[in-house]
Amino acid sequence: MSRFEVIRRDGLARISHLSVEGRDIVLPSAGEADTLFPGLAGSSLENVPLDADPGFAARYLPAGDTLPVRVHPAVDRDVGSGTCVMVPCWHTALADPRKYVEWLVRLKERLPPDTAFYAPAAAVPSNISLLCYTGFDLFDFTAVDLASARGEFCLPEGVFPADLMEEGACSCPGCREGDLFRHNRAALLRELALVRMHIASSSLRDLVESRSRMDSRYVSIIRFLDRESHFLEPRIPVSRPGTFLATSGESLFRTEVRRFADRVVNRYIPPAADVAVLLPCSAKKPYFLSQSHRRFMEAVSGRALELIVTSPLGLVPRDLERVYPAAHYDVPVTGYWDAEEKAWIAGVIAQFFRKHRFRRVIAHLEGGALDAAGMAAEMASIDLECTTGGDRATSRAALNALSGALSGEKPVTHDLVRATASYQFDTAVDTKGFTLKERFPDLKVFRGMEPLFSLDPGTGLLRPTFGGWELIPAGYRVEIDAFVPSGDILAPGVVGADPRIREGDEVFVTGPLAVATGRAAMPGPEMVRSRRGVAVKVRKVKTPGGKHV
């Protein structure tokens, strides 16, 4: 018997508990293979190649419920919730990045989400962050012990000749004693501790990007996985704590970036406006706190829809600048945009202007941002007016030109609640009669004396009250069984969930005996498929009689 429960997620990576053979293990971790699973000591015939055809794999892959359960990309296997599975030969997948991702997606989609994944003989310090990032939880010392036997010195930066141990590259007890086996095992465990820390802070992607630079295969795996948006996007939270680092070319393809751009183009409802102004970004976030954007806002004076052009997000409407990741990203500021950046940003801008037509579009831009806007104008067949005239966008001459270009234009009524609700819930909220009480970064929304929404200062997303949910007619609902929640709602109590729900989304919980508001702790599809773990972190509960619990 085994029991597996996820405690913390960071995309595919998890911090979790695995109970097996009377022992409780905090994952991700590594140990002796035969200690983890004594039955492995006498096993045979489990090393079926990953590229084996379904007939061969089904014939030779050991069956039965002995832990860990052997699984294979080509074989459908009935695996119970909370089980630990082993993917024999997974170390060979690292040599073929395209197949690595193909096999990973196939396995993850077939097996229950609350399944522990064991990758035998695969983990060394330089790839353990990638293995965890792609959803593996449990490892052994086989790979590092083999490296030691070959005279290889393992570090997070790669595998080197054992002579490096004498150069002071590491000062662990193994290195001080000249014990290569001890060093390599310790290096793996140290890197695992770092991985757990990054999962806990929702920043594992940053660590993986830095580690992968030393091996082109690992970079390829990240890129191929990013392309699997149908698989990856539901498993990526709508927001993360801390800074969103966009420091590599892969940032353009991160799920958070693609999701934000897609929602700006396809969900966001802009205010009624005849004129749109494209503005440069700023280092300070949200943009309106920066000196440059205070000048831009003064020059525009509410006479146009303000759209910030930025890499890697593409386009940030002024009334979405607090929303994750628009208020949370950090990029190297060099003033140079490469061709790939320009093409991506131009595509986003062009899509926006194909969907939303304006009488005038003004580009108050310079450098790469102006180049991207020019490309977008051609793609969307719009005329672009430039007000910088070769000057810096913040120069007095350029600002005067921007203000003059808007002379006589009608004021635009911005609606932060309507804009954020459209982006967040894909719905149009009627905000007539709303009043906003703001003391940055906190904001509360009322209709009369009734509170409807508050703005989460950490994510820029709306938190609806029960009254607020009445204005969101459908979607982002979680259905529960006949009970009154007395705390967080566990997955076994969920009978249905909107498949659009992502971890971190605000959700409305409905059931025969109670309704509740809260935040999703796992994606909607996972709530339905899981048999363990917290599905919704409950904020407030109300029974049919109107009693608040």
b/e map of 5-33 (b: 16 or more CB within 10 Å)?
Answer: bbeebbbbbbbbebebeeeebebbbbeeb
Q: For the residues 485-493, what does the mean pLDDT come to?
A: 95
Ramachandran assignment for 335, one of left (phi > 0), alpha (psi -120 to 50 degrees), beta (any other): left
Residue with tokens 């140990």, as numbered in its chain: 31
Q: Is it the case that residue 446 has pLDDT exceeding 70?
A: yes
Q: For the residues 210-233, what does the mean pLDDT come to?
A: 96
pLDDT digits (tens, 9 = 90+) for 449-474: 999 999 999 999 999 999 999 999 99
What strand order describes the sheet that includes 515-520?
489-490, 534-542, 515-520, 506-510, 477-480, 494-497
CA–CA gap between residue 385 and residue 124 (Å, rounded): 55
Q: From 204, 291, 283, select the one nearest 13 (Cα to Cα).
A: 204
SS3 513: coil
Does residue 113 contact residue 529 with C-beta atoms inside 8 Å?
yes
Strand 489-490 to 450-455 pairing: unpaired
CA–CA gap between residue 246 and residue 284 (Å, rounded): 15
Strand partners, 305: 276
Omega before residue 28 within 30° of 0, cis: yes
Q: What is the pLDDT of residue 43?
A: 66
Kindly report the average pLDDT of the chain as a whole number.
94
Q: What is the pLDDT of residue 34?
A: 81
Report the C-alpha dihedral over residues 180, 182, 188, 192, rounded to 10 degrees. -160
Does residue 465 contact residue 452 with C-beta atoms inside 8 Å?
yes
Does residue 305 contact residue 270 with C-beta atoms inside 8 Å?
yes
Residue with tokens 């014990």, as numbered in its chain: 179
Q: For the residues 404-412, what does the mean pLDDT come to?
A: 96
Does residue 431 contact residue 420 with C-beta atoms inside 8 Å?
no
Backbone phi and psi for residue 486, each to the nearest 5 degrees, phi listed first: -110, 10
**Cα separations (Å) of 346 from 313, 319, 356, 377?**
11, 21, 15, 8
**Residue 371 has which token pair?**
């180049």
Q: Is it the case that residue 45 has pLDDT exceeding 50?
A: no
DSSP E strands, 376-471: 384-386, 434-439, 442-447, 450-455, 462-464
The percent of residues in the chain predicted with pLDDT above 90, rounded, is: 87
CA–CA gap between residue 468 and residue 386 (Å, rounded): 41
Question: Model confidence at 359, in pLDDT bands (50, 70, 90)?
Answer: very high
For 481, which DSSP code?
-
pLDDT digits (tens, 9 = 90+) for 82-119: 999 999 999 999 999 999 999 999 999 999 999 999 99
Comparing 333 with 352, the larger pLDDT belongs to 352
Superfamily of domain 2-230 in the CATH hierarchy: Queuine tRNA-ribosyltransferase-like (3.20.20.105)
Q: From 429, 435, 468, select the one nearest 452 (Cα to Cα).
A: 468
**Residue 416 has which token pair?**
């932060």
Backbone phi and psi for residue 37, each to the nearest 5 degrees, phi listed first: -140, 95
Q: Is it the case that residue 1 has pLDDT exceeding 70?
A: no
Q: Is it the case that residue 264 has pLDDT exceeding 60?
A: yes
Residue type, 158: G
CA–CA gap between residue 446 and residue 489 (Å, rounded): 28
pLDDT digits (tens, 9 = 90+) for 504-513: 999 999 999 9
pLDDT digits (tens, 9 = 90+) for 420-437: 999 999 999 999 999 999
For 548, which DSSP code?
B
**Listed range (41-55, 184-198, 227-241) with the worst mean pLDDT:** 41-55
Specify the pTM: 0.94
As assigned by CATH, the class of the 244-405 domain is alpha beta
CA–CA gap between residue 324 and residue 263 (Å, rounded): 12
Does residue 137 contact residue 18 with C-beta atoms inside 8 Å?
yes
Comparing 162 with 43, the larger pLDDT belongs to 162
Q: What is the pLDDT of residue 66?
A: 80
**Residue 250 has which token pair?**
């892969």
Does residue 93 contact residue 50 with C-beta atoms inside 8 Å?
yes
Burial class (CB in 10 A: 0-12, 13-18, 19+), 224: middle
For 119, which DSSP code?
-
Strand partners, 541: 516
CA–CA gap between residue 81 and residue 115 (Å, rounded): 6
Q: Is it the case that residue 262 has pLDDT exceeding 90?
A: yes
Q: Is it the case that residue 223 has pLDDT exceeding 90?
A: yes
Does residue 482 contact residue 345 with C-beta atoms inside 8 Å?
no
Q: For the residues 433-451, what does the mean pLDDT come to?
A: 93
Q: What is the domain partition of the chain in residue ranges? A: 2-230, 244-405, 418-542
For the domain 418-542, what is the CATH code? 2.30.130.10
Q: What is the pLDDT of residue 548?
A: 67
Q: Is it the case that residue 150 has pLDDT exceeding 90?
A: yes
CA–CA gap between residue 409 and residue 300 (Å, rounded): 10
CB under 8 Å to 336, separation ≥6 — which residues? Answer: 367, 368
Does residue 179 contact residue 70 with C-beta atoms inside 8 Å?
no
Question: Model confidence at 36, in pLDDT bands (50, 70, 90)?
Answer: confident
Question: Model confidence at 42, in pLDDT bands (50, 70, 90)?
Answer: low
Q: Is it the case that residue 9 has pLDDT exceeding 90?
A: yes
Q: For the residues 276-297, what does the mean pLDDT come to?
A: 96
DSSP E strands, 318-386: 329-330, 360-363, 384-386
Q: How many CB atoms lie within 10 A of CB 431?
A: 18
Q: For the residues 370-386, what does the mean pLDDT come to?
A: 97
